[in-house]
Structure 1
Amino acid sequence: MDRHHRQKANADADQRHQRQPEHGGEQALPGTEIDIAQRRILRGRQVEGRQTVAFRPRSGKFVSVIVPSLRRAKVNPADAPVLTLAITSKTMPLTEAQNLVYTRMAQKISQVSGVGQVNLSGGQKPAVRIQADTQALASYGISLATVRTAIDNANANSAKGSFDGPTRAYQINANDQLLTVDDYANLIVSFANNAPVRLRDIATVADGAENERLGALANLEPAIILNVQRQPGANVIQTVDGIKALLPELQKALPAGLTVTILTDRTTSIRSSIAHVEMELLLAIVFVVLVIFFFLHSIRATIIAGLAVPISLIGTCAIMYLLGYSLNNLTLMALTIATGFVVDDAIVMIENIQRHIEDGMRPRA
């Protein structure tokens, strides 16, 4: 038999209460005023196995505006991680580093603007592993079911009693779950010859991992993998830059034995692709101007067409900025193609004007 227990029991089971908001994992909702600084007090009801949290927005905000923002504040599982980090250590077991990475890194990164979800994989949660000795069980006449029942009863999460008054009743709860190896080793499983049979007499109790078949490697070293996904509509480059700016601070918050390494970064290919498209756009402008000068043999006409392109691009980018659009591979490619249209219209106009001038028509203001 192989059992493992080390999850803290809920001391507030079956208890309804009100609580203040926990700011550890909250994120501001874009387009609304429901953020940590401006949110009203959260009121929740917590019952065994479930929890309900409600909030009241600031006055003046309509529900029709808030509800869509809540629905959009989700991550799309189909989106690939925008950044993947690996946390390794040559001195600290990953079972001890798991909780540090979650509390000191994952929760901080989740608060960066644009981050939708942070997932940990490859890490191993700490647990107490119990390996039963079948021969010892047989000698004491104890079955595996008896051992299982004793362990379950020692970790039962239930009310210990109650205070009953004329108008109110209060339940008494206590967190008496076993957490350490010594706690489990001294657990009395049964009695034989009027003497207690403890768990250490019939099993091997040791610290270990919750799932020994789970693991990840980074550069051939055991690691905890941290995958960061963005919110729908968030700018990938801005999100990743915000996380990278936070990494030095997060590294200082971790013990000296832990090392944080960037495994994958989606912005690397995005930046390279954008730089390539920008170069193509610049070359398109240069070659268009050279072609105009080669065929028209007019410096004046070349200057007119050359000015039309950057003015059109600047105007287009200004309108996109005012409308809230961002530059990406698609928009840059569209601008590159549109450059040809602008120059083509400019050439047609210049050629038509030049033809009328050669026919003797004088320019008019």
Structure 2
Amino acid sequence: MNLPEDNLNRQFRKRRSLGDFSLRNNSLIIFLALALCLAGIYAAFNIPSSVFPQTNFPRVVILVDNGVMPAEEMMATITRPIEESMKDIPGALNIRSATGRGSAEISVFFTWSTDMIQAELYVLGRLSQIKSQLPATATTSVYRLTFSAFPIIGISLTSPRRDITELWEIARYDLKPRFIRIPGVARVNLVGGRTPEFQVIVDPIRLQAAHLGLDQIISALEKNNLVASTGMHEENYFLYLTVVDGRLHNIDEISSLVIAVNDGHPVLIKDIARVERGPEPVFNVVTAEGVNAVLLNIYSQPDGSTLNIAKDLRKELEALKQQLPPDLKLAFFYDQSEIVRTSVRSVWEAIIFGLFLSMFIMFFFLKNWGTTLVTILVIPVTVLTTLLAMKLTGLTFNLMTLGGIASAIGLVIDDAIVMAEAIHTKIILKTERFEAIRESVNEIFPPLVASTLTPVVVFIPLAFLTGITGVFFRALALTMVVALLTSLLLAITMTPSLAAIFIKVNPEKRNDQPADSEGFEGGFILRKLIKIYEIGVRAAIKNYRLLLVICLGILLSGIFI
């Protein structure tokens, strides 16, 4: 009873069955490969794109604005109460704040394992609970920090003939509504320009002569410039809600507003002040192309596609050029889509270059078009399958995933080359084609799995890194691992299936010499390379002690130098 021999026989039958499986089901395997390619093409056109991987940074920012309140009072009445209310939120690590005159920024930091959508809701809930304790004039806004918190595209609006206030009105009421309706756009913020307003410039002498104060003017404007309900009216089973519109629309209406009545005579605003239309005071200047401008910053939704937003925005700009006055100029001053577009183009260039280079190398050494075709088909199938996996796992086209695909191009073809070359060699040695495929799978499968899993186990730990490093390298690692495992699967299934169809050797080219004879495979250059390799291997085996010392010296040099 020879147990080791029985184990070897079972292993041989298992590997042989894998080769038989590829031959028996070659039509099914090719069909599944085509289906994966079609699904990958669909995924390629529907995967969102961005510069960086989508990330929920463990930080929620609270912005507070309260006019011109002094910093010390802001700290006591706003910043400190908000800080104290946020500290006991689940997952909160620490709170940092910056307080200035009339403004405050409170940042709540959480652990990386915290659900940031839930954390944002907690922050909003606590903020609403203490709202009554804050000054009535304070306004707050809450943002969850992601890459979507930064603009992806910026558009500048300039004109040689219009003032900055008119440009702001065009940007606010004409351009912003059209930009924000583009699919994937979250919001559009205006930077620069001046909001128009009516300014009441009081004459102090006339004000004193009328025995009035500034507070009375402010009170009169607030009480009269409003829309108020006057009640309800029911008629014919219909209920009508009635309102009075007392809003002031122009300079004449403001000037004619009654402030008070002195000795039976109404005192109007125009009696003690003049009313002008002008821009609100601002303390910054925004320019584009050397002139004053209004900038429109466009923000993407978390799952928005930068490339699609940029494409739709360019179409919208082309339509606007036909409708806006000719003196208005719209131009890009910032565009992240160019970075993404360049990265995507680089990946496709790497794929095409890898295909042609692999085809050239394989045919140059093996002189067989069937082997070349079987080998290079692995690259597009692997890439498209990886894109399908990205779509299913929610990954996007970004610098890390595209970099992973580009880096994997040179690795994914290795398994197919080894398998195809082994089959080609068996056929040259006068082995029947189907039997050559079975024997090749039998011989190559164990080292093929080992050589593929070696880089896989290097990349897998990167997927479990935490912090900002993990966010970036997780996308790279997942892309590389999927591509490598897909190439292994294709090498042991699709490559033998295609080899049964395409790899053929003319009987005249078959070699009658044994496998260890010179010239049993390849052309003149390959035989020379094999001869040089043989000399090097024999020398290394003969002087293995010296080789080990050299390797150890290189290792120590890398550690200490």
Choose the corresponding residue for 1:299, options 354, 367, 370. Answer: 367
The change in CA–CA distance for 1:315 and 1:195 in structure 2 (over 3 A counts) is same
The change in CA–CA distance for 1:284 and 1:166 in structure 2 (over 3 A counts) is closer
1:170-209 correspondence to structure 2 within 5 Å = 170-192=240-262, 194-209=264-279
Residues 1:236 and 2:303 aligned together: no
Residue 375 of structure 2: aligned partner: 308
C-alpha displacement at 1:250, in angstroms?
Answer: 1.6
Residue 128 of structure 1: aligned partner: 198
TM-score (norm 1): 0.66
1:249-328 correspondence to structure 2 within 5 Å = 249-289=319-359, 292=362, 297-300=365-368, 304-305=371-372, 307-314=374-381, 316-317=383-384, 320=387, 324=391
Q: What amino acid is aligned across from residue 134 of structure 1 in structure 2?
A: P
Residue 43 of structure 1: aligned partner: none
CA contact (8 A) 1:121 1:216 kept: yes
| Structure-2 separation of matches of 1:179 and 1:215 | 29
1:80-99 correspondence to structure 2 within 5 Å = 80-99=150-169
| Structure-1 separation of matches of 2:185 and 2:297 | 11
Residue 143 of structure 1: aligned partner: 213
The change in CA–CA distance for 1:364 and 1:177 in structure 2 (over 3 A counts) is closer
C-alpha RMSD of the superposition: 3.6
Higher Rg:
2
Query: 1:14-38 CA deviation, whole Å, 9 max, x = no partner?
Result: xxxxxxxxxxxxxxxx9xxxxxxxx
CA contact (8 A) 1:305 1:343 kept: no
C-alpha displacement at 1:192, in angstroms?
Answer: 4.3
C-alpha displacement at 1:85, in angstroms?
Answer: 0.9
The change in CA–CA distance for 1:198 and 1:215 in structure 2 (over 3 A counts) is farther
The change in CA–CA distance for 1:339 and 1:91 in structure 2 (over 3 A counts) is closer
SS of the residue 1:142 aligns to: coil
Choose the corresponding residue for 2:415, options 337, 341, 345. Answer: 345
Moved more, 111-120 or 188-197: 188-197
Choose the corresponding residue for 2:225, options 130, 152, 155. Answer: 155
The change in CA–CA distance for 1:150 and 1:327 in structure 2 (over 3 A counts) is closer
Residues 1:106 and 2:176 aligned together: yes
SS of the residue 1:160 aligns to: strand
Query: 1:327-353 CA deviation, whole Å, 9 max, x = no partner?
Result: 554444333343333332233224534
The change in CA–CA distance for 1:161 and 1:93 in structure 2 (over 3 A counts) is farther
Q: What amino acid is aligned across from residue 308 of structure 1 in structure 2?
A: T
C-alpha displacement at 1:98, in angstroms?
Answer: 3.2
Q: What amino acid is aligned across from residue 298 of structure 1 in structure 2?
A: L
The change in CA–CA distance for 1:347 and 1:256 in structure 2 (over 3 A counts) is closer
Q: What amino acid is aligned across from residue 384 of structure 2 in structure 1?
A: C
Residue 364 of structure 1: aligned partner: 433
Moved more, 117-126 or 264-273: 117-126
Residue 48 of structure 1: aligned partner: none
C-alpha displacement at 1:314, in angstroms?
Answer: 3.9
SS of the residue 2:154 aligns to: strand
Residue 5 of structure 1: aligned partner: none
C-alpha displacement at 1:177, in angstroms?
Answer: 0.9
Unpaired segments ≥5 residues, structure 2: 1-45, 47-142, 435-561
Q: What amino acid is aligned across from residue 419 of structure 2 in structure 1?
A: M
Q: Counting helix residues as a fraction of each chain, which structure ranks higher?
A: 2
CA contact (8 A) 1:75 1:232 kept: no
SS of the residue 2:229 aligns to: coil
SS of the residue 1:174 aligns to: strand
Moved more, 119-128 or 154-163: 154-163
C-alpha displacement at 1:90, in angstroms?
Answer: 2.7
CA contact (8 A) 1:129 1:206 kept: yes
CA contact (8 A) 1:76 1:232 kept: no
CA contact (8 A) 2:355 2:379 kept: no
| Structure-2 separation of matches of 1:251 and 1:336 | 39
Unpaired segments ≥5 residues, structure 1: 1-29, 31-73
TM-score (norm 2): 0.45
C-alpha displacement at 1:303, in angstroms?
Answer: 5.9
C-alpha displacement at 1:128, in angstroms?
Answer: 0.4
SS of the residue 1:84 aligns to: strand
CA contact (8 A) 1:277 1:329 kept: no
| Structure-2 separation of matches of 1:191 and 1:169 | 38
Query: 1:176-218 CA deviation, whole Å, 9 max, x = no partner?
Result: 2112112112222234455433212322310012444465322
Identity, in percent, stands at 22
